[in-house]
Chain A
């Protein structure tokens, strides 16, 4: 009965513990009605997994607010490392560079990936299968191979390594992700929908814009955000294709670590995590708002016509 107090108030456990409270001695009967024995070790495994995954992050966030230089002893709360971060021109430049790279990568690779997905699904030719295999290879091949060969290519061709080459590198590996995600959704879309649009007077381009894209929108958005996050925290490709100028943030962190671990890195890590989480939350928010917002607008448009 002591367990009741501990887990009692917590959400779904509440009714379980309430039942236990009511029937204390009658536990066997309750279990039989539930249909199976709840394996308690799963709870432990789940908790351990979550701890294993998130404890390091918690530690990083925690020590980013430490007042002293130590990474093991918490001496007091302070935001001094964030202050350093904000005033350090190198870090700010790198952060800005990373955001720019991620934004451009997202825009370009989403556009190209969506077009590629349409080509793969809607125009099946002899080139379709080899292209699909190339895309999958892109996903499974070690990133370092692609990164090194990109660097060699740029050097051979005589292109100065810079943030532009980093962006190009990110776009090359991102297209595959977008194309594969969007292709999955597009292949479930009835091709007669686009035909119906054309039948009703829409040109090929309009049928894609007015019918196919609105239905693919969640997949495209998801792919775009995934690519943004991947580009934002990519290290390998960034490392090999960035020149001597401003390094992208992950590359900067790497070079900072070489001169000893500073709590500033904790602050950067916390910030990067916040950006990633915000992007994910924004994506979720967009999905849930989408339906009602659009419906309201549509209704307004139809209302105008009726008036």
Chain B
């Protein structure tokens, strides 16, 4: 067991339910001690993946390794992983204390040690006052923390979390995100976190795997998947993207609307290939700041402002480059008010961006096993 080995390795796993392929030839490596998110829309196979790691589902094909050992045929109660369920699945007939102690009692640990560890864990999740309460008597946030404590007290090699914050309201969710991250650092357990909330994944993760229709689209750090999405699916699922259909030509991109843009074409993109041009709204610089910033080497285009939505810190502009080719631009409201009024709907503007921010993306989502 060297540290080189991944805490969890999912190797070419396929899972089918009747005629639906939930997961297709999926490969994942989860680093030890990290916060790993599996992100995707509902029905993309992320929960199925988690359930296979936990041992509740058996893959039709492929192998799952925990700490380098194959566990595909090992039942859940012999796997050194614990799960925080979306529904929490707390034992209603037991108190908070007994819920948290459940796993340690199954292991047959000495009573003194159970008392010590359960006490510490209940303190960690701030529930010392409610240890005697039944789950029904707790608020949603408290129930969530019981579920977390019940799993974490066993000090698993990997903690699996299935959309654990899904049932909480927005404010509590933000608070629990920070708390979860804090607890993860504190105990140093590897977290595998399933979510459909891209913001949550970006905020909390060390690494994100993006899934669509059971197929892995991209794995990387939050920065990697946001800044350099692998394809149009990732670009549109994470954050806002301007995606313009285009055709690759020699050294340039010809947008379907007729505009030609210089772009660095990736190796896979031969001339004549149908692609998408992608640029993030905040990477586009508007005319005014263009000059004041004095940046050189920008790609520049002209357009007309169609709409502007003031949002306090930011203003969202919709700019039409050509008929049928519109982009969203997000600009900080740091310029003078005067300058902003010049950017009213109907006003002509110049847009610019650094060449490396304009991405050429494959229109097709990734195929299985690639």
Q: Which residues of A contact B132 (CB under 8 A)?
A: 299, 302
Q: Which of B82, B89, B97 contacts A190 (CB 8 A)?
A: B89
Size of the A side of the interface (Cβ < 8 Å), in residues, is 24
Counting chain B CB atoms within 10 Å of each CB, the highest count among A197, A198, A214, A298 belongs to A198
Q: Is the CB of A199 within 8 A of B93?
A: no
**Which listed segment binds B: A44-52, A68-76, A200-208, A263-271?**
A200-208
Asked if A196 is at the interface of the complex by the 8 Å CB criterion, the answer is: yes
**Which listed segment binds A: B107-115, B171-179, B188-196?**
B107-115
Which residues of A are at the interface with B, using a C-beta cutoff of 8 A? 190, 192-193, 195-203, 206, 210-211, 214-215, 294, 298-299, 302, 304-306
A-B CB contacts (within 8 Å), total count: 79
Q: Which residues of A contact B54 (CB under 8 A)?
A: 195, 199
Within 8 A of A (CB), among B92-129: 92-95, 97-98, 101-103, 106-107, 111-112, 114-115, 118-119
Q: Is the CB of A298 within 8 A of B91?
A: no
Majority secondary structure of chain A interface residues (helix, strand, loop or mixed): helix
With contacts A211-B91, A306-B115 taken as known, whether A199 is within 8 angstroms of B98 at the C-beta atoms is no
Q: Which residues of B contact A190 (CB under 8 A)?
A: 87, 89
Q: Is the CB of A305 within 8 A of B114?
A: yes
**Which partner residue on chain B sits nearest A307 by CB separation?**
B115
Whole-angstrom distance from the CB of B348 to the nearest CB of chain A?
58
Whole-angstrom distance from the CB of A197 to the nearest CB of chain B?
7
5 closest A-B pairs by CB: A201-B106, A200-B103, A196-B89, A192-B89, A305-B115
Q: Is the CB of A195 within 8 A of B106?
A: no
Asked if B310 is at the interface of the complex by the 8 Å CB criterion, the answer is: no
Expressed in whole angstroms, the Cα–Cα distance for A214 and B101 within the complex equals 17
Counting chain A CB atoms within 10 Å of each CB, the highest count among B83, B89, B154 belongs to B89
Whole-angstrom distance from the CB of A293 to the nearest CB of chain B?
13
Which residues of B are at the interface with A, using a C-beta cutoff of 8 A? 54-56, 75-77, 81-83, 85, 87, 89-95, 97-98, 101-103, 106-107, 111-112, 114-115, 118-119, 132, 150-151, 154
Q: Which residues of A contact B94 (CB under 8 A)?
A: 298
Expressed in whole angstroms, the Cα–Cα distance for A241 and B328 within the complex equals 83
Expressed in whole angstroms, the Cα–Cα distance for A298 and B76 within the complex equals 27
Whole-angstrom distance from the CB of B337 to the nearest CB of chain A?
55
Q: Which residues of B contact A199 (CB under 8 A)?
A: 54-56, 76-77, 81-83, 151
With contacts A200-B102, A304-B111, A306-B115 taken as known, whether A195 is within 8 angstroms of B93 at the C-beta atoms is no
Whole-angstrom distance from the CB of B45 to the nearest CB of chain A?
18
**Which partner residue on chain B sits nearest A302 by CB separation?**
B97
Q: Which residues of B contact A304 (CB under 8 A)?
A: 111
Whole-angstrom distance from the CB of A208 to the nearest CB of chain B?
13
Q: Which residues of B contact A197 (CB under 8 A)?
A: 91, 102
Q: Which residues of B contact A215 (CB under 8 A)?
A: 92-93
Expressed in whole angstroms, the Cα–Cα distance for A192 and B160 within the complex equals 14
Q: Which residues of A contact B56 (CB under 8 A)?
A: 195, 198-199
With contacts A195-B85, A195-B89, A196-B85 taken as known, whether A201 is within 8 angstroms of B98 at the C-beta atoms is no
Q: Which residues of A contact B107 (CB under 8 A)?
A: 201
Expressed in whole angstroms, the Cα–Cα distance for A211 and B105 within the complex equals 14
Q: Which residues of A contact B83 (CB under 8 A)?
A: 195-196, 199
Expressed in whole angstroms, the Cα–Cα distance for A202 and B94 within the complex equals 15
Q: Which of A192, A294, A302 contacts B87 (CB 8 A)?
A: A192
Q: Is the CB of B98 within 8 A of A302?
A: yes
Expressed in whole angstroms, the Cα–Cα distance for A153 and B216 within the complex equals 61
Q: Is the CB of A193 within 8 A of B91?
A: yes
Q: Which residues of B contact A298 (CB under 8 A)?
A: 94-95, 98
Q: Which residues of A contact B90 (CB under 8 A)?
A: 196
**Which partner residue on chain B sits nearest A217 by CB separation?**
B93
Expressed in whole angstroms, the Cα–Cα distance for A211 and B103 within the complex equals 12
Q: Is the CB of A200 within 8 A of B98?
A: no
Q: Which of A193, A195, A305, A306 contacts B76 (CB 8 A)?
A: A195
Expressed in whole angstroms, the Cα–Cα distance for A298 and B75 within the complex equals 29
Q: List 6 A-B contacts (CB under 8 A).
A: A196-B83, A196-B89, A196-B150, A200-B154, A202-B102, A305-B114
